[in-house]
């Protein structure tokens, strides 16, 4: 096998030679350095490398080039070598362009000119990028095919699970010729049918069976950890990143997919550091990879059903009867969308009625009339995303407007999209349909009316679903977990508090068990604050461990 390639492209011959010189000085024994002086020339080199079967580990491109900018080059180069690390070389005046490139081409790093001395400003960056490349699984995933009924709740759940876990798949209706062949070969299985790249068939698989088939981890490697994080939303991922990076042996247990509700968002535009916005799936995927790079274990399809203390250990019980013990636990289970109290809708969930963004269903909304219930940011983001494919998107809001519940930037964005219509003081009364949603009855300022509708997406607030903590952790009347100051009345410790100190800020009514993110009482329901909670909880875990 030939050496992996480090490719550098810069239209300034002097700079191009200097970059190549510094790369060869340190990496020539392990890598082959290829330099080009324009984007098109570099793309030709990459195509030749691909034809020969050579691998490329790093793409380092100058931003300001006359024929093709560095960002434009990296965007096309991604199609040829998707796993190569992407670094942009830029002047200080162009840092804004470099930051925008983080979203456009999933940029891994940007370097400022000049990079001297290279031992301080150049080599540490390249070392970390090459280490990340070596750790990346670079085998191309085979095609996964899912066969199911168009209006099947379980078929939707399987596709949603795959989509949210970043697993590519092909969806085949059971009436298609290709699906008929697969069903015949599988012996008339129960739908949905999942066929893996090696031909293995899974008939109506559970989430755990599906996760195992696509290579997701479903069981922990050990019985005892420093830290167990329950929930894989922004707070849980933040806790996993900070816990693992600070030397705690950390395991994160997620029931469905990394990212939580935020992971379903089509575009988060007010998260720090992403001026052009970032999709929830992209943010969750980056956080997951970051946590794994630091050594955190991520367990998918784990359903936690109980907590208990055994001496200094905190034990997490799962639905399958297994247990995981740790010195400390962070609860980051987030919240779930409340069900809409309207006649007939419960029977249509997954077959036209969806709680959350249901990204797997977006293509099916092409040229359709789509209804979105809710007036907060999640509803607005979903409406903007759906407006790209739908004939018209109707936002149904119980209140008299969006101003009290939705961010100003999103309200302005919606106002500028011609195929989004906001209906204020309007609620869903009922839904009807045989095997899927066909009609909705709405009540508004002009009375009741019935409309033809096949798609209803609901975002009407949330509830914490913390019933499994009954008898163990103190919660408020709505089920949110009480922590820190909320546990202290008139400066006194909780009645059953077993230690002499006061509870730490994010600590629950049981020492060593913390809460972070939306599940915590009176938390700020924003992605940034959830990530901050996760980081703060880890700092408090360290303090707890030092004093235990």
**Region 77-92 average pLDDT:** 85
**Region 82-94 average pLDDT:** 81
- What is the CATH T-level fold of the domain 145-213, as seen in this structure? Glutaredoxin (3.40.30)
**Region 377-383 average pLDDT:** 92
- CB-CB contact of 213 with 236 (8 Å): no
**Region 492-520 average pLDDT:** 90
Instruction: Give the C-alpha separation, 251 to 253, whole Å.
Output: 7
Return the higher-pLDDT residue of 197 and 455.
455
- CB-CB contact of 386 with 370 (8 Å): yes
Task: For the chain, give every residue range classified as CATH 3.40.50.2300.
Answer: 5-135
| Residue 141 scores a pLDDT above 60 | no
Instruction: Give the C-alpha separation, 10 to 153, whole Å.
Output: 52
Question: Residue 492, SS3?
Answer: strand
Task: For the chain, give every residue range classified as CATH 3.50.50.60.
Answer: 224-335+464-547, 346-462
pLDDT of residue 296: 96
- What is the CATH T-level fold of the domain 346-462, as seen in this structure? FAD/NAD(P)-binding domain (3.50.50)
pLDDT of residue 36: 92
8-state DSSP, 2: P
Close Cβ partners of 513 (under 8 Å, ≥ 6 residues apart): 307, 314, 328, 329, 330, 331, 473, 507
pLDDT of residue 428: 97
pLDDT of residue 372: 97
Give the chain's largest Cα–Cα span. 77
Return the higher-pLDDT residue of 91 and 511.
511
Tokens at residue 219, please? 């069981």
Q: In 3D, which of 142, 357, 333, 337 has the Cα closest to residue 253? A: 333
What ranges make up the beta strands (E) of 28-132?
32-36, 56-62, 85-90, 109-112
Find the range with the poorest average confidence among 69-83, 130-144, 234-248, 281-295. Answer: 130-144
Instruction: Give the C-alpha separation, 238 to 77, whole Å.
Output: 31
pLDDT of residue 45: 92
Return the higher-pLDDT residue of 101 and 224.
224
| Residue 524 scores a pLDDT above 80 | yes
Tokens at residue 416, please? 């500028």
Give the tens place of pLDDT for each residue, 433-476. Answer: 999 999 999 999 999 999 999 999 999 978 899 999 998 999 99
Instruction: Give the C-alpha separation, 469 to 462, whole Å.
Output: 18
- CB-CB contact of 123 with 323 (8 Å): no
Among 105-109, 270-274, 482-486, which range has the highest average pLDDT? 482-486
For 48, other C-beta atoms within 10 Å of its C-beta total 11
pLDDT of residue 139: 58
Structure pTM?
0.74
Q: In which band, very low, low, confident or very high, does the pLDDT at 97 lie, cut at 50, 70 and 90?
A: low
- Kind of pairing between the strands at 109-112 and 85-90: parallel
H helices of 53-117, in order, are 70-80, 95-104
Return the higher-pLDDT residue of 68 and 424.
424
CATH code for the domain defined by 224-335+464-547 = 3.50.50.60
Q: In which band, very low, low, confident or very high, does the pLDDT at 529 lie, cut at 50, 70 and 90?
A: very high
8-state DSSP, 202: E
CA angle 108, 49, 197 (to 5 degrees): 75
What ranges make up the beta strands (E) of 272-391?
297-300, 304-310, 313-318, 323-331, 336-337, 353-355, 369-373
Give the tens place of pLDDT for each residue, 28-57. Answer: 999 999 999 999 999 999 988 887 778 999
**Region 384-396 average pLDDT:** 94
Task: For the chain, give every residue range classified as CATH 3.40.30.10.
Answer: 145-213
Pick the CATH number of 5-135 from 1.10.10.1110, 3.40.50.2300, 3.40.640.10, 3.40.1670.10: 3.40.50.2300
- CB-CB contact of 372 with 395 (8 Å): yes
* Upper half-sphere CA count for residue 25 (Cβ side, 13 Å): 11
| Residue 102 scores a pLDDT above 80 | no
How far, in Å, are 70, 256, 303, 326 from residue 322 at the CA level? 51, 18, 10, 14
| Residue 17 scores a pLDDT above 60 | yes
């Amino acid at each position: 096998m030939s050496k992996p390639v480090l490719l550098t492209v810069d239209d300034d011959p002097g700079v191009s030679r200097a970059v190549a010189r510094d790369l060869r000085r340190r990496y020539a024994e392990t890598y082959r350095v290829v330099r080009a002086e324009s984007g098109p020339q570099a793309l030709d080199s990459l195509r030749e490398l691909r034809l020969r079967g050579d691998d490329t580990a790093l793409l380092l491109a100058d931003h300001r080039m006359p024929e093709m900018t560095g960002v434009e080059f990296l965007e096309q180069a991604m199609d040829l070598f998707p796993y190569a690390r992407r670094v942009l070389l830029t002047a200080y005046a162009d840092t804004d362009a470099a930051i925008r490139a983080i979203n456009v081409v999933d940029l891994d790093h940007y370097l400022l000119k000049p990079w001297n001395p290279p031992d301080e400003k150049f080599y540490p960056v390249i070392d970390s990028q090459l280490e990340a490349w070596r750790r990346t699984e670079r085998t191309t995933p085979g095609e996964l095919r899912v066969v199911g009924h168009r209006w099947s709740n379980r078929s939707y759940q399987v596709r949603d699970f795959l989509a949210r876990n970043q697993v590519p798949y092909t969806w085949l209706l059971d009436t298609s010729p290709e699906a008929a062949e697969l069903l015949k070969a599988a012996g008339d299985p129960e739908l949905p049918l999942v066929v893996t790249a090696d031909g293995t068939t899974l008939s109506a698989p559970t989430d755990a069976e599906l996760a195992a088939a696509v290579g997701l981890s479903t069981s922990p490697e050990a019985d005892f950890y420093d830290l167990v994080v329950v929930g894989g939303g922004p707070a849980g991922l933040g806790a996993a990143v900070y816990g693992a990076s600070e030397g705690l042996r950390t395991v994160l247990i997620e029931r469905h997919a990394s990212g939580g509700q935020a992971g379903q968002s089509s575009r988060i535009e007010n998260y720090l550091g992403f001026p052009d916005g970032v999709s929830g799936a992209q943010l969750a995927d980056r956080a997951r990879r970051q946590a794994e790079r630091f050594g955190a274990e991520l367990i998918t399809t784990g359903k936690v059903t109980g907590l208990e203390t055994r001496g200094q250990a905190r034990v997490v019980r799962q639905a399958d009867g297994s247990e995981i013990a740790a010195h400390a636990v962070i609860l980051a289970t987030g919240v779930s969308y409340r069900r809409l109290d309207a006649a007939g809708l419960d029977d249509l969930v997954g077959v036209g009625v969806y709680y959350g963004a249901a990204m797997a269903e977006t293509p099916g909304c092409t040229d359709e009339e789509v209804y979105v219930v809710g007036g907060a940011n999640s509803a607005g983001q979903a409406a903007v995303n759906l407006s790209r494919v739908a004939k018209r998107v109707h936002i149904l809001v119980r209140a008299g407007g969006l101003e009290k519940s939705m961010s100003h930037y999103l309200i302005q964005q919606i106002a500028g999209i011609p195929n989004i219509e906001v209906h204020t003081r309007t609620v869903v009364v009922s839904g009807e349909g045989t095997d899927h949603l066909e009609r909705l009855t709405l009540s508004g300022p002009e009375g009741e009316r019935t409309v033809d509708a096949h798609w209803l997406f609901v975002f009407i607030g949330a509830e914490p679903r913390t019933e499994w903590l009954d008898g163990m952790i103190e919660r408020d009347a709505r089920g949110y977990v009480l922590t820190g100051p909320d546990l202290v009345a008139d400066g006194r410790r909780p009645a059953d508090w077993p230690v002499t100190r006061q509870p730490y800020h994010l600590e629950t009514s049981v020492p060593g068990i913390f809460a972070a993110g939306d599940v915590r009482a009176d938390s700020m329901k924003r992605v940034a604050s959830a990530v901050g909670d996760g980081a703060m909880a880890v700092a408090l875990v360290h303090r707890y461990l030092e004093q235990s």
